[in-house]
Chains A and B, each alone.
Chain A
Amino acid sequence: MTRSWMRYAILLAPLPLFLVASYVLPFFVVAKWSVTDPEPGLGQYIRIFTDPTVQVVLIRTLRICVIVTLVSVTLAYAIAYNWVFGPPKRQRLIEYCVLIPFWISVLIRAFGWLILLRNNGIINESLMSVGVIKEPLALVRNELGSIIGMTHFLIPFAVFPLASALRQVDPRVPQAASGLGAGRMRIFWTVTLPMTMPGVLGASIIVFVFALGFFITPAILSGGRSVMVAEFIYLQLFQTVNWGLAAAISVVLLVIVAALGALLHKVARLDKLVG
């Protein structure tokens, strides 16, 4: 018993070392670059808040993240609601539809959307052949493409916390509301939704944080036409070789993500209190 415990301890010992080596040390190096490259000082941070190029990227990123969060949490709520309260057949169907995408790589999914959405893609071609539109719709190689691809990718991440919040709702509470005279819509808006609000907040934070760091999906689906912050950092590092700016933006991002993480932690605890 004790010996096997020791063995696990020895096996696990490298983990903290590995974490320090791969996350903490690089972080300090990056933080150092942000105040030393190309010259010591806070110049790079000032640039983040003044340089129009950076501003455009940041505002675009914020806009895309907010839209993606709103759309995917809304859709995920509908999916989670049907998953938890729907008839058994629908529950199975949703399980497959939510779980299967998890097994498919980000890259393949992005290319899948490209095939569907591009000018001579399936959607545009069928719409044109039916005669609904004459010109192909610009569904991809722009912000819309990024939003569609990211939303699709992130919905499952929102479905799980929302489903768990919905499962915690005592079914007698909406039932009581119905007995007190409330119709289905009213029960949803005044009882079920408010009771699952911590789950909605949690799901929103998770989706927002993921969206903030998205790289591959927007890079492929916007075709470089609507660069988001992660791709922008990549460009600063490997094309413009402006390491100081890349590092400063990374630090700012990290601070934002950490703040959202702390908020999520609070919300999750709140969730437990309410449930």
Chain B
Amino acid sequence: MNRFQLNYANYSIVVNSVFNLSSRKNRKGGVGLAPQRHRASQLSAIGLGKSFGNFEALRSLDLTIAAGEFLTLLGPSGSGKTTFLMALAGFLKPSRGRLEEDGVDITDRPADKRNFGMVFQGYALFPHLSVTDNVAFPLKVRKVPAAEIKKRVGDMIERVGLSAHAHKRPAQLSGGQQQRVALARALVFEPGVLLLDEPFSALDKNLREGLQAEMKRVHRETGTTFVFVTHDQSEALALSDRIAIFNHGQLMQAAEPRAIYTRPDNRFVAEFLGRINLLPLEGCSAIDGRATGRLGEATLSAPTGAAALAGRQSLLAVRPEHLRIGAAGADDNSVAGVIADKIFNGAEMSLQVALATGQRLLLSVPDNSAAAALAVGAETKVCWPVESGFILHDDRNA
């Protein structure tokens, strides 16, 4: 029982475990229940690196992926996401470091012995096999009895809603349907880890949103560890338990979506995820967890960690949605500026306010508000609660 709960880490609700236990027993007898929870693995990369010749595609990377977690790898194109995923899958031999699954070293274990499910960019379905045979492939490899294969494949295809297309070849399916086949094929053998490389990148927006919800549901139902690659930040924010941000082969930060959005560790993460205003502070000093410095005429503050300031250029960071036009309240920062640009985008109006010091502040206001009616060139004041900002260090030239 103890081991069972370990395996299900995040899902160690006793009821669940009991349910699984019985469903497993049933399956042995050949009559499985439909919703199945899988064994979920914990993965650890320890100092993992990969070089192609002199080029470091992945720098020493330390990251532990909890059992049952939905982790998203997010980063610009070429940042090493696929390289990391391929190293996890066993298709790429790391140049440095180790990989562990539940504490066992698997660095040298070949891909076909890792028992991870994978959905490739472009799906990589078997073009010469029907949907059924594609999904049955991993079970046939594992020498599962034919009757059980038939049942499990049928269940899986039904779960992804493709029963009507079971006999078709991949070329006869739409992109979204192919994507579902790839998912079914990767999940049917109940892998401890599911690796997905930009599974939605080839699909149009509406389809993506539907499939995202489905992906989330599948994750909930199976309890498998998901490692999901995307370069779409809203997708990452919507789906993940945790997001790992990559840049130039380096892990910049790994944290929960809200934490990574509201308290990014560094400038790259702050600018990559959503839009942000960055204001350089002069003569910055920290008292009582609050950093205060000057920007031209204005004195601005933001919460900060203790030893954070030491001798580096500090930037006050604040998201556009926290700014407003108008008079400052009790615990607000306030700067004066001139409306430089207005962009109408549906429900809201994006304003750019030029400051005397040369920066431009970006903010969004409701389209029917008084602020939205301000003309370009009008003088105005922009303010925001001190608590909504935070301090970053300029790591551009670090």
Q: Is the CB of A170 within 8 A of B124?
A: yes
Asked, given contacts A181-B141, A181-B142, A181-B189, whether A176 binds B112 with beta carbons under 8 Å apart, the answer is no
A sample of 20 inter-chain contacts (CB < 8 A) reads: A170-B124, A172-B124, A173-B126, A175-B91, A175-B124, A176-B125, A179-B89, A179-B116, A180-B117, A180-B138, A180-B185, A180-B186, A181-B112, A182-B112, A182-B141, A183-B112, A190-B137, A194-B128, A195-B127, A195-B128
Most buried by B among A173, A186, A194, A195: A173
Known: A175-B91, A182-B137. 17 other contacts (CB 8 A): A172-B120, A172-B124, A173-B126, A173-B127, A175-B120, A175-B124, A176-B124, A178-B111, A179-B89, A179-B90, A179-B117, A179-B118, A180-B112, A180-B185, A191-B126, A274-B128, A274-B171
Q: Is the CB of A274 within 8 A of B116?
A: no
Across the A-B interface, the 8 shortest Cβ-Cβ residue pairs: A172-B124, A176-B124, A180-B138, A181-B141, A179-B118, A194-B128, A178-B111, A178-B112
Indicate with 1 or 0, residue by residue over A169-202, a CB within 8 angstroms of chain B CB atoms.
Answer: 0101101111111110010001100110100000
The residues of A that contact B90 with a CB separation of less than 8 Å are 179
Give the residues from 93 to 123 in chain B that come closer than 8 angstroms, CB to CB, to chain A: 110-118, 120-122
The residues of B that contact A176 with a CB separation of less than 8 Å are 118, 120, 124-126
The residues of B that contact A194 with a CB separation of less than 8 Å are 128
A177 to chain B, nearest CB (A): 7
A112 to chain B, nearest CB (A): 40
Q: Is the CB of B141 within 8 A of A186?
A: yes
Residue A19 at the chain B interface, CB threshold 8 Å = no
The residues of B that contact A6 with a CB separation of less than 8 Å are none
Instruction: Tell me, in angstroms, the Cα distance from A173 to B171 when the chains sit together.
Output: 14
The residues of A that contact B120 with a CB separation of less than 8 Å are 172, 175-176
Q: Is the CB of A181 within 8 A of B138?
A: yes
Instruction: Tell me, in angstroms, the Cα distance from A181 to B137 when the chains sit together.
Output: 9
Give the residues from 120 to 164 in chain B that come closer than 8 angstroms, CB to CB, to chain A: 120-122, 124-128, 137-138, 141-142
Instruction: Tell me, in angstroms, the Cα distance from A172 to B120 when the chains sit together.
Output: 8
Instruction: Tell me, in angstroms, the Cα distance from A172 to B91 when the chains sit together.
Output: 10
Instruction: Tell me, in angstroms, the Cα distance from A273 to B124 when the chains sit together.
Output: 16
Asked, given contacts A176-B118, A180-B138, A181-B141, whether A197 binds B128 with beta carbons under 8 Å apart, the answer is yes
* Nearest residue, chain A, Cβ from B140: A190
B118 to chain A, nearest CB (A): 4
The residues of B that contact A191 with a CB separation of less than 8 Å are 126
* Nearest residue, chain A, Cβ from B120: A172
Instruction: Tell me, in angstroms, the Cα distance from A186 to B138 when the chains sit together.
Output: 11
Most buried by A among B112, B142, B171: B112
* Nearest residue, chain B, Cβ from A191: B126
Most buried by A among B141, B186, B189: B141
A109 to chain B, nearest CB (A): 37
The residues of B that contact A273 with a CB separation of less than 8 Å are 171
Instruction: Tell me, in angstroms, the Cα distance from A179 to B91 when the chains sit together.
Output: 8
The residues of A that contact B113 with a CB separation of less than 8 Å are 181
Instruction: Tell me, in angstroms, the Cα distance from A190 to B118 when the chains sit together.
Output: 19
Which residue of A170, A173, A179 contacts B112 across the interface (Cβ within 8 Å)? A179
* Nearest residue, chain B, Cβ from A170: B124
The residues of B that contact A186 with a CB separation of less than 8 Å are 141
Instruction: Tell me, in angstroms, the Cα distance from A94 to B309 when the chains sit together.
Output: 64
The residues of B that contact A195 with a CB separation of less than 8 Å are 126-128
* Nearest residue, chain A, Cβ from B188: A180
* Nearest residue, chain A, Cβ from B141: A181
Instruction: Tell me, in angstroms, the Cα distance from A176 to B118 when the chains sit together.
Output: 7
Asked, given contacts A172-B120, A186-B141, A273-B171, whether A179 binds B111 with beta carbons under 8 Å apart, the answer is yes
Indicate with 1 or 0, residue by residue over B271-292, a CB within 8 angstroms of chain A CB atoms.
Answer: 0000000000000000000000
Instruction: Tell me, in angstroms, the Cα distance from A170 to B114 when the chains sit together.
Output: 22
The residues of A that contact B111 with a CB separation of less than 8 Å are 175, 178-179
Which residue of A177, A179, A183, A197 contacts B126 across the interface (Cβ within 8 Å)? A177
* Nearest residue, chain A, Cβ from B137: A180
* Nearest residue, chain B, Cβ from A181: B141
Instruction: Tell me, in angstroms, the Cα distance from A182 to B91 when the chains sit together.
Output: 13
The residues of B that contact A170 with a CB separation of less than 8 Å are 122, 124
The residues of B that contact A183 with a CB separation of less than 8 Å are 112
The residues of B that contact A177 with a CB separation of less than 8 Å are 126, 137
Instruction: Tell me, in angstroms, the Cα distance from A91 to B379 when the chains sit together.
Output: 71
Q: Is the CB of B141 within 8 A of A173?
A: no
Give the residues from 137 to 190 in chain A that come closer than 8 angstroms, CB to CB, to chain B: 170, 172-173, 175-183, 186, 190
* Nearest residue, chain A, Cβ from B171: A273
Which residue of B89, B115, B124 contacts A181 across the interface (Cβ within 8 Å)? B115
B357 to chain A, nearest CB (A): 51
Indicate with 1 or 0, residue by residue over A188-226, a CB within 8 angstroms of chain B CB atoms.
Answer: 001100110100000000000000000000000000000
Q: Is the CB of B124 within 8 A of A180?
A: no
The residues of B that contact A179 with a CB separation of less than 8 Å are 89-91, 111-112, 114, 116-118
A170 to chain B, nearest CB (A): 6
Q: Is the CB of A173 within 8 A of B124?
A: yes
